[in-house]
Amino acid sequence: MTRAHRAPRRRIQLSLALLLALVAGCAPASPPAARTAASEARYFGDVTPPADDVLRFNLGAEPEIYDPSFAAGQPDGRVCRILFEGLTREDPQTLAPRPGQAYRWEVSPDGLTYTFHLRPGIRWSDGTPVTADDFRWSWLRVLKPENAARYSGLLAPIRNAVAYNQREIPDSNAVGIVARDDSTLIVTLGEPTAYFLYLTQFYTYLPVPRQAIARHGDRWTRPGNIVSNGAFTLRQWRQNNRFEFAKNPRYWDAAHVRLAGMVAYPIDDLNTSTNLYKAGVIDWNPSGYVPSQFIPYMRDYRDFRHGSYQGVYYYSINVTRPPLDNVWVRRALNLAVDRDAIANDLLKGSREPWGNMTPTGYPGYEHPPGYRYDPAKARECLAKAGYPDGRGFRKISILFNTSEDHRRIAEAIQAMWKNTLHIQVELTNQEWGSFMGAVTGLQYDVARRSWIGDYLDPNTFLSCWITGDGNNRSGWSSRRYDGLIRAAAREVDPARRFGILREAEALLLEDGPTLPVYHYSTNELVKPYVRGIYQTALDIHPLTYVWIDRDWRSREAAHGPAAAAGPERERVAGGPAGEAGAADRSR
């Protein structure tokens, strides 16, 4: 054989050898942690504190618009909260409303009039004083019909707000917001709203600097133009790249702000974010950015925090499409889902199995019985609907937006329905735009949805199911349900109100178009040298008093890891500890 003929075989051998070598190099370098009861503290990745007092973290997706009046999703909200401060601000641990720009307030006995007193001497970062009229002007800006603010609905409790926004009343002075003088703001509500103070912390209620908007128009949010009244100013913003914040020396409590600045990176890939945390590039990996597959292995790490989050992951059933219009079919579908298997096995315990449509965390609210896995009963219900053993049941499809987790859950449920009910199910995934279009247009059979609480009250999960509500998106309508929700809104006594809401939820579960799957939880990673970030039920994290603790090791050795995590300054008590906080996530 000549050399030329032997060569091709060598070529194959060499190529294969190279390939195998490359593949062998794929062995994981860091195997998952084994469970131990060691007292040795263990942390995920690099724990060297940064040399500067700068907190670096993942902002999530790139914010669409962080002008507070028009901000939409969670990343927008985070930026707004860093730069601006409202009348009240959230307690970093409980999210209860604490004095912010207003240091005290009074509520009239009928619950309709709130009088806020602003702190003396508060200023914008350009030196201009912050006045009550700034708040008035900002809120009216949200309501102005031409501005088409997406969250104008949050100002609905204010008297005449909706009417003005819908152009029923042309005069903005009719809206119940009055600035009596530079430091007093009087807000009149249309109905007593128990959670109003929580709303005043929400980013739609944050003030905007009139003077900057007058001067720069739409470009007022650019670094250099922007003016803020919060603890930080915006120093730099590079698209899809980074946000850099610097401490605001004119902030009224600047003396107690210990960070010199912050850098936020908009990273939407979960693996990337977690990798950056491990490499020590970022100090905080917020909830939702740890891949669910990693979570069982994370539990051994001290810097991993797991807690309850007020959100429910559910499937919405389109009742305009037979046979899903049959209530027995919907019950069968609900009963055939093994939520425990999904949450504990598939999602490795990173979420709670949940059969209700409102989450936990409402003291005094007792949930009605939720769905449990009951295959026999499921089959019964299906038979009662007229499809014994799935005969004659057409193929239905589960629609979800493109994501690993959604797909796995959909595949699991598809198999469950097939095995228990003997029905055919197909899966359709679409990217977010088409997906939302399909859901809104009722072009689906079963669709994956989720809802995160806007404020700490069960109403935020139940009011969206009334007839014709924009967020209903299922075609379901029940007079009785509508009546219950309206009655609850008018009810003043809290215990009775909860009773009515409970009845509403029971009705929703029994007859409604929903299929709850799991209860959200927060899963985040915070470096041990970062102080002042706490796990909260709405995943809101005021960052004003966060600080980098370079002595964290000695402090931990002395007091143990749980201690020294509290804020360093005394908080001023004030304001009723009502319900409701605010968060928004549109995905």
Site for other proteins in 123-162 (CB under 8 A): 145-153
Residue whose CB is less far from other proteins, 98 or 150: 150
Binding to other proteins by residue 62, rule CB under 8 A?
yes
Among 28, 127, 322, 363, binds other proteins (CB under 8 A): 28
CA distance readout (Å), 377 to 80, 327, 336? 49, 14, 8
Question: Can you tell me the distance from the alpha carbon of 342 to that of 412, in angstroms, rounded to the nearest whole number?
Answer: 7
CB of 207 vs other proteins, minimal distance in Å: 18
Binding to other proteins by residue 308, rule CB under 8 A?
no
Question: Can you tell me the distance from the alpha carbon of 103 to that of 116, in angstroms, rounded to the nearest whole number?
Answer: 8
Question: Can you tell me the distance from the alpha carbon of 586 to that of 81, in angstroms, rounded to the nearest whole number?
Answer: 17
Residue whose CB is less far from other proteins, 221 or 358: 221
Question: Contact region for other proteins (CB under 8 A) — 202-210, 243-251, 449-457, 548-556?
Answer: 449-457
Residues 246-305 that bind other proteins (CB under 8 A): 265, 267, 269, 271-272, 275-276, 278-279, 281, 291, 293-294, 297
CB of 472 vs other proteins, minimal distance in Å: 8
Contact 359, 408 (CB under 8 A): no
| Count of residues near other proteins by CB under 8 A | 101
CB of 6 vs other proteins, minimal distance in Å: 8
Residues 491-530 that bind other proteins (CB under 8 A): none
Question: 10 Å Cβ neighbour count for 173?
Answer: 10
Residue whose CB is less far from other proteins, 454 or 556: 454
Closest CA to 209 of 150, 145, 148, 138: 138
Among 133, 374, 411, 491, binds other proteins (CB under 8 A): 411
Among 410, 423, 504, 583, binds other proteins (CB under 8 A): 410
Extended strands (E) in 467-559: 514-526, 530-531, 547-548
Residue whose CB is less far from other proteins, 59 or 565: 59
CB of 301 vs other proteins, minimal distance in Å: 14
Residues 160-199 that bind other proteins (CB under 8 A): 166-167
Closest CA to 530 of 325, 221, 334, 284: 284
Closest CA to 130 of 118, 138, 143: 118
Per-residue contact track with other proteins, 212 to 251, x per CB under 8 A?
------xx-x----------------xxxxx---------
CB of 112 vs other proteins, minimal distance in Å: 25
Task: Report the half-sphere exposure of 140 (CA within 13 A, side-chain side).
Answer: 19
Residues 70-89 that bind other proteins (CB under 8 A): 70, 72-73
Contact 447, 513 (CB under 8 A): no
Question: Contact region for other proteins (CB under 8 A) — 378-386, 397-405, 486-494, 535-543?
Answer: 397-405
Assigned token pair, 146 = 């031409």
CB of 41 vs other proteins, minimal distance in Å: 20
Residue whose CB is less far from other proteins, 467 or 554: 467
Binding to other proteins by residue 557, rule CB under 8 A?
no
Contact 382, 418 (CB under 8 A): no
CB of 261 vs other proteins, minimal distance in Å: 15
Q: Collapsing DSSP states into helix, strand and coil, what is residue 221?
A: helix
Residue whose CB is less far from other proteins, 122 or 421: 421
Question: Contact region for other proteins (CB under 8 A) — 388-396, 542-550, 551-559, 578-586?
Answer: 578-586
Question: Contact region for other proteins (CB under 8 A) — 28-36, 77-85, 190-198, 321-329?
Answer: 28-36
Question: Can you tell me the distance from the alpha carbon of 382 to that of 422, in angstroms, rounded to the nearest whole number?
Answer: 10
Extended strands (E) in 96-251: 97-99, 102-107, 113-118, 177-181, 184-188, 232-238, 242-247
Binding to other proteins by residue 584, rule CB under 8 A?
yes
Residue whose CB is less far from other proteins, 151 or 371: 151
Binding to other proteins by residue 32, rule CB under 8 A?
yes
Question: Can you tell me the distance from the alpha carbon of 252 to that of 473, in angstroms, rounded to the nearest whole number?
Answer: 45
Question: Can you tell me the distance from the alpha carbon of 174 to that of 13, in angstroms, rounded to the nearest whole number?
Answer: 84
Assigned token pair, 215 = 């001067």
Question: 10 Å Cβ neighbour count for 77?
Answer: 24
Residues 322-361 that bind other proteins (CB under 8 A): 341-342, 345-346, 348
Question: Can you tell me the distance from the alpha carbon of 88 to that of 116, in angstroms, rounded to the nearest whole number?
Answer: 10
Kindly tell me the sign of the dihedral angle through the C-alpha atoms of 458, 461, 464, 467: negative
Binding to other proteins by residue 422, rule CB under 8 A?
no
Q: Give the angle subtended at the CA of 118 by the CAs of 115 and 124, to the nearest 5°.
A: 140
CB of 40 vs other proteins, minimal distance in Å: 21
Assigned token pair, 255 = 């003396």
Per-residue contact track with other proteins, 452 to 481, x per CB under 8 A?
-----------------xxx-x--------
Residues 2-21 that bind other proteins (CB under 8 A): 3-5, 7-12, 14-15, 18-19
Question: Can you tell me the distance from the alpha carbon of 104 to that of 183, in angstroms, rounded to the nearest whole number?
Answer: 11
Residue whose CB is less far from other proteins, 291 or 561: 291
